[in-house]
A = this chain, B = another copy of it.
Amino acid sequence: MSYFQRHIFFCLNQRDNGENSCAQHGAQAGFDHCKSRVKKLGLAGPGGVRVNKAGCLDRCAGGPVAVVYPDATWYSFVDNEDIDEIVESHLKNGQVVERLVLPANVGK
């Protein structure tokens, strides 16, 4: 069994060379909101959900992005409502939010 039932990683990468990066597109706000919601719903911790900071996830063209493991589901999100849906549907109930899934061909 997985130590965390679901482990979501948010790219918080900030590029300083002028290139696009998730940090310029609300990644930190998405992470903060997700972390707070998961805690409020009592989902956080071993056997439950872990909301994690990550460096560049290398799918920058879809940023801001996050990935849920062990499901290996990738998301692109826009606002807090998107995050709420990922938390409620996927992290809590295991149902993928299809409308937010990153298309397979979106890469760096």
Please encode chain A, from 29 to 65, with 1 for each CB lying within 8 Å of some chain B CB and 0 for all others: 0000000000000000010001011111111000000
Known: A69-B7, A72-B2, A107-B46. A54 touches B53 (CB 8 A): yes
Q: When chains A and B are docked, how far (Å) is the Cα of A53 from the Cα of B2? A: 20
Verify B9–A59 contact, CB threshold 8 A.
no
Across the interface, which residues of B come within 8 angstroms of A12, CB to CB? Answer: 55
* With contact pairs A72-B2, A72-B3 given, residues A54 and B52 touching in the complex (Cβ less than 8 Å): yes
Cβ proximity bits A54-84 to B, threshold 8 Å, 1 near / 0 not: 1111110000000101111010000000000
Q: Is the Cβ of B72 less than 8 Å from the Cβ of A9?
A: no
Given contacts A9-B9, A72-B69, contact A50 B58 (CB under 8 A): yes
